[in-house]
Chain A
Amino acid sequence: MASILLVDDSASMREMVSFTLKGVGHEVSEAEDGVEALEFAKKTAVDLVVTDVNMPNMDGITLTAELRKLDSYKFIPILILTTETGSVRKEQGKVAGATGWIEKPFDPDNLLGTINRVL
């Protein structure tokens, strides 16, 4: 099973995503914003990053770009969670180095389905 870094400023989303992922046996580490996630990433490697976009201190797009600068995060899948149906955020995410995205709202099945695509 994979180790996953989950970044979201919303406690309820973190709880839901984390519960779902742990339920199928993944190991989940949580961070509340980009800054916290980056701190974590500098010390620890994971198999997958799932990050929200709109967050205080450092948003998910900037986080993605920063993570790609780290050796151990160069090639791992990074998925961004976005409510924006428009392509701007996705485009920005791709430019920053994101692997793909999960559109909000999603349910546990959507989430696991998408995550299985990259694991």
Chain B
Amino acid sequence: MVSEVNIDLSQFHDVFFEECSEGMEIMESGLLNLTSESDSEVINTIFRAAHSIKGGGGTFGFSEISNFTHGMETILDEMRNGKLAVTPEAVELLLEALDCLRDMVQSSKDKTPINKELVSEIHEKLENFTGEAVAPVAENIPEDEPLNVSDEQDSVSTWNISFYPHENMFYTGNDPFRLIRELQCLGDLKTKVNYDRLPEFSKMDVQNCYLGWDLELKGDVSLDQITEIFEWVEDDCSLEVNLKNKVTETESESENEEEKEVVEEVRARVKDGEKTGRRRVEKSGFSNQETSSIRVGINKVDGLVNLVGELVITQSILSRVCNDLGIERNEKLNECLDQLERNTRDLQEQTMGIRMLPIDFAFQRLPRIVHDLSNSLGKKVDLKFSGETTELDKTVLEKIGDPLMHLVRNALDHGIESSDVRVAAGKSEKGLISINAYHQGGNIIIEIHDDGAGLDPEKILNKAREKGLVDNDEVLNELQIQNLIFAPGFSTAAVVSDVSGRGVGMDVVRRNMTDLGGTVEVASVLGKGSTFTIRLPLTVAILEGQMVSIGDQVFIVPLLSIIESIQVSEKDINAIANAAELYPYRDEYISVIRLREVFNVHIDEDDDENRRGLLVVIDIGGRRVGLYVDDVVGQQQVVIKSLEQNYQQVPGIAGATVLGDGGVALIIDVLGLVQTSNH
């Protein structure tokens, strides 16, 4: 009866781990919202998530995860049934357990040993909390019960079974025939059917069961094996199982045969009943229902994105070639090319969309951080989100998690004041941190606003001068001063707390954003609060580029970092000591980087006078720098090709791209370029 199939369960592990992460997110956000007034659905949701992890853990061979989650589930179950009050202590404990569970899942995923001490410590806490020992679920998948081996060896016993199903047995989907068939597998079975309950034909309901059986089972069979077969129908029949002590050898073969005929008859009847009972819907109407989403490896998606990028390039080369050939005469061809262009763009957009995920994923960790931190700081604060469904590239999404967390910590630690200070300042007792995300052009904007104390420009300026970040005679406007907090090595907190002042500060946040081709800025009103604005490209695979020419070469400057391009004359560029050059831009002097020299581009001297000479002013983390180029050529969306993968890393170059004419252009890494030229 037991089929031996060889299925490697590890093939489902990835899905299981992913599911665990989702489940734990659900548990966490549920727990953070859980109070004694919570709707029962809140607990139910948390419970379900724990329950699924427990079930999956058991099934896929992670018994430690399963056992541990069982402890959490027990508490949740008692809360659900009202046996246990929802107290802040209980919630804290569950959150602590959740962190532990997260570590366990991570360890299982990485195939590293689980921190057994911590696990058993918390498991104990969970047990003590419910006041009763949390019974661990079976350590492993229960073993198949041996079917033909009983405890007492060589003991052939004979059982008398009287089995009289209730009339409604078919309505539970159970079928006496199948039960008898199972008994037959255990040993030698004799069946005697009892027709006594069969009504007159006219009163017979074909969907009811009127027959009863007196069975005799001979073999090496235990009582458990028999009752197990009838386990599902215990309440749907009258069942008596008795051991017939002495095995008599007198039963003749002929008797056996006779009764087999009866079995056949019963089988036929039962089958008939089945057929009449089930009004089958035509099979042709059957269609496999597909789930609404599929999981695919990210490498597959990236492969697709890459190919589509190539396609876009090929398409634009094709367009250009046809234009150069002057085939505008052929209308049909032009039509097709236009169609191809539209389709390619749509395809590109759709493909990019596959990598897009709602920003919600990056927000999920924040409530917990705010919860923990506000507790430890003794501050009261609300956290609000808007625009959670705003989508952005998965790669970008994964990288903004930490900076976002840092900004929120910072807002809570430095921004939001303690309750008494707030009340004294005429503010509400509870602080508010709101996070808003939205699309603007090809960018995503994330604003982190707090209604706290705001930045004190005077303090910042003093600090910056103290640290030598600003010269004493330098005059800065308020916004510039506020943005000094992003300077490397700047930290306003007098005492470095373990919360947001770990030496890594706002400069790391800015660095992260710049790496992603984005920016971060702050605007603050003293006493009213601060707003940090993050601006990021929606994707890292495609870049809005400004093409600039130097000699006969074309380079790409990321459009997002450009403030403006201005025509300058050589006489306005002042050379100062150690070969640096400055240009008076608005009310400041900015350094000038001559790309021609940096990249060693050969220039035909005769041509030189005809060149315009443009300064492309870029903003890198609040600092402005001018790139001196020959000309700007145009703007284009470019697909970034990694140089590292195809060649090697080149300082000052972020990658390469293929232009519409098939030529290759290098993409300038503005931050890297500025850092290189500083040395």
Which A residues fall within an 8 A CB radius of B?
Answer: 3, 9-16, 19-20, 23-24, 27-32, 36, 40, 43-46, 54-56, 68, 71-72, 74-78, 81, 83, 85, 94, 97-101, 103-110, 112-113, 116-118
Contacts and interface: CB of A to CB of B under 8 A. Distances in A.
Given A29-B289, A99-B174, A105-B57, 7 more contacts: A10-B19, A74-B277, A75-B171, A100-B232, A105-B138, A117-B1, A118-B173
Contacts of B48: 9, 54-56
A12 B278 contact: no
Q: 9 shortest A-B CB distances, which residue pairs? A: A105-B58, A99-B173, A100-B232, A77-B173, A12-B16, A45-B281, A12-B15, A105-B59, A113-B2
Given A54-B47, A106-B59, A110-B141, A44 B274 contact: no
Interface stretch (B4-12, B627-635, B638-646): B4-12
Interface in B1-59: 1-5, 7, 9, 11-12, 15-16, 18-19, 45, 47-48, 51-52, 54-59
Interface in B125-149: 137-138, 141-142, 144
A112 B60 CA distance: 16
Contacts of A11: 15, 18-19, 295
Given A44-B286, A54-B51, A110-B144, A97 B2 contact: no
Chain B at the A interface: mostly helix, strand, loop or mixed? helix
A109 B5 contact: yes
Given A76-B173, A105-B141, A16 B285 contact: no
Nearest to A104: B55
23 contacts: A9-B52, A10-B19, A12-B16, A14-B291, A16-B59, A16-B60, A29-B289, A54-B47, A54-B51, A75-B170, A76-B278, A78-B173, A83-B55, A83-B137, A94-B235, A98-B172, A104-B59, A105-B66, A106-B59, A107-B9, A107-B59, A116-B1, A118-B178
Nearest to A17: B59
Contact of B9 (A16, A29, A118): A16
Contacts of A98: 172-173
A101 B52 contact: no
A98 B234 CA distance: 13
B232 A23 contact: no
B278 to A, nearest CB: 5
Contacts of B175: 118
Contacts of A30: 289, 291
B300 interface: no
Interface residues of B, number: 57
Contacts of B1: 113, 116-117
B203 interface: no
B5 A112 contact: yes
Contacts of B170: 75
B397 to A, nearest CB: 21
B346 to A, nearest CB: 30
A97 B7 CA distance: 31
A56 to B, nearest CB: 6
B111 interface: no
Nearest to A113: B2
Given A94-B235, A117-B182, A108 B174 contact: no
Contacts, number: 157
B515 to A, nearest CB: 33
A29 B288 contact: yes
A43 to B, nearest CB: 7
A10 B286 contact: no
B280 A72 contact: yes
Contacts of B178: 117-118
B162 to A, nearest CB: 21
B306 to A, nearest CB: 28
Interface of B: 1-5, 7, 9, 11-12, 15-16, 18-19, 45, 47-48, 51-52, 54-60, 66, 137-138, 141-142, 144, 170-175, 178, 182, 207, 231-232, 235, 274, 277-281, 283, 285-289, 291, 295
B280 A109 contact: no
A12 B289 CA distance: 17
B51 A109 contact: no
Contacts of A113: 1-3, 144
Nearest to A96: B172
A60 to B, nearest CB: 12
Contacts of B279: 71-72
Contacts of B51: 54, 83
Contact of B52 (A16, A54, A68): A54
A94 to B, nearest CB: 6
Contacts of B285: 43-44
Contacts of A31: 289
A74 B173 CA distance: 7
Contacts of A40: 289
Contacts of B280: 45, 72
Nearest to B276: A75
A105 B55 contact: yes
Nearest to B41: A56
A94 B172 contact: yes
Given A12-B15, A27-B288, A74-B278, A104 B58 contact: yes
Most buried by A among B54, B59, B291: B59
B169 to A, nearest CB: 10
A88 B448 CA distance: 49
A78 B141 CA distance: 23
A115 B48 CA distance: 25
A77 B175 CA distance: 9
Contacts of A23: 5, 7
Nearest to B280: A45
A12 B60 contact: yes
A105 to B, nearest CB: 3
Contact of A56 (B7, B9, B45): B45
Contacts of B57: 105
Nearest to B63: A105
A97 B173 contact: yes
B141 to A, nearest CB: 5
Contacts of B277: 74-75
A7 to B, nearest CB: 11
Given A24-B5, A44-B286, A109 B55 contact: no
Given A27-B288, A83-B54, A97-B173, A109 B278 contact: no
